[in-house]
Structure 1
Amino acid sequence: MSGRLLRLVCTTAVATGIVLAPVPAEAGPEPAGPARPAERTVAELLTDLQRLYREAEKATETYNGTEERLKKQRAEVKRLDAELARARLSLHDSRGAAGRLARQQYQNSSDLSPYVRLLLARDPQRALDQGHVIGQLARKRAETVGRLTGNERKADELARRARKALDGHIALAEQQKKQRDDVDDRLRDVEKLLASLTPRKLTELAAFEAAGIAKAQERFIASGALSGDGKPSAAGDRAVRFAVEQVGKPYQWGAEGPASYDCSGLTSQAWERAGTPIPRTSQEQWARLQRVPLGELRPGDLVVYFPEATHVAMYLGGGMVVQAPRPGARVKVSPIAANPVLGAVRPDPAGEPVRRYVPPRLPAGATDGSDAGYAAAYAPAAPETSAR
């Protein structure tokens, strides 16, 4: 295996934290079944590889969504615990006040009730004043008892909600672990396929993929889907420049910087740095952000891919995007049609375009490497591009 191709396979393994299984030097006769990698066409191999990548991406975005829910659940558990602590302190104070009131009533008790003593008083005005005081004491007693009862109910309710929130946190953590294992399993399948290929097959695979993307981009531009670039908003300009600054950093599933990114980690962090927080996952970005026609794209808009919205990139202008493509790749600039386009969304629809826009300077090698993300099961020689 040539040095470059060996690095291609090993880089993927390092990025995913998986050790490639060695290929046996000798293999005995195999039972009849599916064709071995060496016997399959490049198109078939690439279709399988892209299917595996796409399954891994779907699992990654599911994991990312659970991680976001887990973050919110952690915050809710923390908030409820703090509120419960305050409620218990208030309940303690209320019980102390009720105890003091009970002691006062015991110490002031006599054979004659306060009302009878008022009737026997010689000074009517003094009797009225004492009556007012007694009324205040009665109201105070009622308020103390009511406060004690209310605080007890509140503390019980908060304790119930805190237990429920903690149970939810534990369930989400277990779910996240299963999803992490699922991603690892799917990426292990990718590594097994890559490790089974000869250097010649890897070279053919890369060339075949690049040719398919070039054809897809040519057809996409010829279709007129892009009618010219608009100018970004000020926030969009900041988001684009941040994304371009990340070019060359490795893809790592579940990562949102600063050392590495996955696809939606890059786009969400770019807009976070621009001052406009957006959802973490590509599916949520597609579902919750305002959609824009492809003919109205401006730098900073997000281009979403595949029917399940499992991949996302940031539009740069000129029919190009910046993206974190897949494990083993790095953040790079790619043709917009490197993957089947689902549509586009705009994080800041109310943002006014800047008067003058100078695109950021791209670093050297910004377009090097694989452009394909987690493609559907299609042969790159005839890719499908959907612009919905």
Structure 2
Amino acid sequence: MSGRLLRWVCTGAVVGVLITTMPGASAVPAPAPDPGERPVSQLLTDLQRLYRSAEEASETYHATGEKLKKQRAEAAKLDRKLAKVRASVHDSRGEAARFARQQYQGTTGLSPYLRLLLARDPQRALDQGHVVRRAAAGRAATVRRLVGGEKKADDLAGEAKKALDTGAALAARQKKQRNEVDGRLKEVEELLSSLTPDQLAAVRQAEETDTADSERRFEASGALSGSPARRAPSRQGDRALDYAVRQIGRPYEWGAEGPERFDCSGLTQQAWAHAGREIPRTSQEQWAELRRIPLTRLRPGDLIVYFPGATHVAMYLGDGKVVQAPRPGARVKVSPIGANPVLGAVRPDPGGRAMRGYTPPRLPAGATAGSDLGYGSAQAPGATDSR
């Protein structure tokens, strides 16, 4: 990570609106000032607001996607139940129809009872009575199954339709949210493309200066005091970290879960999935559902969650460093743990025992290099727009 601008990255934050229409104001927005007329600090603030706005929409998009996935699974489950109940109703109707035909043809009714009364052999009469009672009970059970099955089928059909309607509404909402993210990221691109090379260099310099200041403040806070630089991970944590390190250099793309591109929580989720541990998709869900641990107990593979709204996440590497997917236009890289405001840490495998004889992964050349400015910054050869 590199600096204040990067702090507004990944999977959402409290939205900062660049232009707000106040009550009673004209419906026509005032023209934005020429970038050349704004100081570097203002340009940085504008970019921060745009990124925060885009990433809030991105977090909402992710959350809706998770709800849609669960809703579709529920709808499929209801469909399977409904199919079984309808098959049972079909069988009960067939059996009821057979009884009706027998009644019509005179093979049931009073004749078995009359034969029972006229029987000379009492034991045989008792046996026939048992058969008759069983037959009557069977017909009653068939009728009960038919009536109960039809009611259950009607109820399940109603639930299935409701689940389908909910899924359709979620899909429409997710499409709208995707368009919203695309529109906000386009605003970021337009602002960055309007800056001169000197302005971009000045913003980058301001960002790097602020990153260094932030890291010094984090170190001075003593948040990691008592945490050994080389504490060993669990075996699963080691595999997750190895996966994350192997993704260094791959581009960020919001909503991406690999294998070629990632967003911040997509990287951490996939890393742990490759280690055999399923964790939630979004940074907010990871913060809410995984075991929280103090920073003094950090070990490689743990997840560091950032910002008050838990809107960014990275994987702890050790030695005060993290592996993370920063934001659009940047690439997966190694950054200082304190370059963003740390909310806390979570451990996906709290029951995992620390390894013995742990060897940290070897980092590729340039793992910490590269600007996090995002769109408009210089990119590695062969790189394309990360959207």
Shorter chain as denominator, the TM-score bin is: 0.7 to 0.9
Please tell me whether residue 183 in structure 1 is matched to residue 181 in structure 2.
yes
For the 8 Å contact 1:338–1:372, the answer to whether it is kept is no
The code of the aligned residue for 1:139 comes to A
Give the counterpart letter for 1:208 in structure 2.
Answer: A
Task: Please give the secondary structure, in 2, of the residue aligned with 1:342.
Answer: strand
Q: Please name the residue that 2:124 is paired with.
A: 126
Q: Which residue of 2 aligns with 1:244?
A: 245
- From 118, 137, 140, the equivalent of 2:138 is 140
Deviation at 1:273, TM superposition (A): 0.9
Structure 2 residue aligned with 1:257: 258
- Sort the Cα spacing of 1:358 and 1:124 in 2 relative to 1 into closer, same or farther, 3 A: same
Q: Is the 8 A contact 1:305 1:343 kept in 2?
A: yes
Contact 1:325 1:370 in 2 (8 A): no
- Percent identity reads 66
Q: Label 1:338 to 1:135 Cα distance change in 2 as closer, same or farther (>3 A).
A: same
Opposite residue 287 of structure 2, the aligned amino acid is W
What residue number does 1:171 align with? 169
CA deviation digits over 1:286-341, x for unaligned, max 9?
11111111122111111111111111111101111111100000111111122111
Q: Deviations over 1:86-112 (max 9, x none)?
A: 221111111001100111122235895
The residue aligned with 2:299 is 298
CA-based RMSD of the aligned residues comes to 1.9
1:283 and 1:255 mapped to 2: Cα distance? 16
Residues 66 and 172 in structure 1, CA contact (< 8 A), matched pair in contact too: yes
Distance 2:285 2:200 in 1: 35
By how many angstroms is 1:258 displaced? Answer: 0.6
Q: Cα offset for 1:222?
A: 2.4
Aligned to 2:3: none
- Residue in 2 that maps onto 1:64: 62
Post-superposition CA distance 1:237-278 (Å, at most 9, x none): 111110001111110110001110001000111111111111
Q: Provide, for residues 189-214 of structure 1, a one-character-per-residue CA deviation record: whole Å limited to 9, x for no partner.
A: 11121011001000111111111101
Q: Is the 8 A contact 1:335 1:371 kept in 2?
A: no
State the distance in 2 between where 1:129 and 1:287 align.
67
Inter-partner Cα distance in structure 2 for 1:303 and 1:116:
84
Task: Report the Cα distance in structure 2 between the residues aligned to 1:269 and 1:153, rounded to whole angstroms.
Answer: 44
Whole-Å Cα distance in 1 between the matches of residues 119 and 213 of structure 2?
107
Aligned counterpart in structure 2 of residue 223 of structure 1, from 197, 221, 232: 221
Find the aligned partners of 1:292 and 1:123 in 2 and give their Cα distance.
Answer: 83
| CA distance in 1: counterparts of 2:48 and 2:347, whole angstroms | 28
The answer to whether the aligner puts 1:205 opposite 2:203 as a matched pair is yes
Cα distance, 1:43 vs structure 2: 1.8
Q: CA deviation at 1:348?
A: 1.2
Given that residues 253 and 261 in structure 2 are in contact (C-alpha distance below 8 angstroms), is that contact kept between their aligned partners in structure 1? yes
> Map of 1:27-176 to 2, 5 A cutoff?
35-108=33-106, 113-176=111-174
Query: Contact between 2:78 and 2:159, CA under 8 Å: does it hold in 1?
Result: yes
| Distance in structure 1 (CA, Å) of the matches to 2:30 and 2:177 | 34
Distance 2:291 2:318 in 1: 19
Give TM-score, length-normalised by structure 1.
Answer: 0.84
1: CA distance between counterparts of 2:322 and 2:73? 35
| Consecutive unaligned residues in structure 2, runs of 5 or more | 1-28, 375-387
Q: How far 1:81 sits from its partner (Å)? A: 1.5
How many angstroms does 1:371 deviate by? 4.6
Q: What amino acid is aligned across from residue 339 of structure 2 in structure 1?
A: A
The structure-2 alpha-carbon separation of the partners of 1:179 and 1:33, relative to structure 1 and needing over 3 Å to count, comes to closer
Letter in 1 for 2:234: S
* 1:240 aligned partner, one-letter code: L
Structure 2 distance, partners of 1:223, 1:104, is 88
The one-letter amino acid of 1:138's match is A
Whole-angstrom CA distance in 1 between matches of 2:302 and 2:215: 18
Q: How far apart, in 2, do the equivalents of 1:304 and 1:209 lie? A: 21
Structure 2 partner of 1:332: 333
- 1:311 pairs with 2:312: yes
- Alignment of 1:323 onto 2:324: yes
CA offset digits 1:67-99 (Å, max 9, x no partner): 111111112222222221222111111100110
1:305 to 1:112, Cα distance in 2 relative to 1, 3 A:
closer
Larger CA deviation: 112-121 vs 233-242? 112-121
CA distance 1:32–1:279, change in 2 (3 Å): closer
SS in 2 for 1:343: strand
The residue matched to 1:316 in structure 2 has which SS? strand
Q: Is 1:325–1:372's contact at 8 Å kept on the other side of the alignment?
A: no
TM-fit CA distance, 1:33:
7.1
Paired AA for residue 194 in structure 1: L
CA distance in 1, matches of 2:54, 2:335: 21
> 1:1-40 residue pairs with structure 2 within 5 A?
35-40=33-38
When residues 232 and 110 of structure 1 are mapped into structure 2, their CA distance, relative to the original with a 3 A threshold, is closer
Q: How many residues align?
A: 343
Q: In structure 2, what is the Cα distance between the partners aligned to 1:235 and 1:111?
A: 71
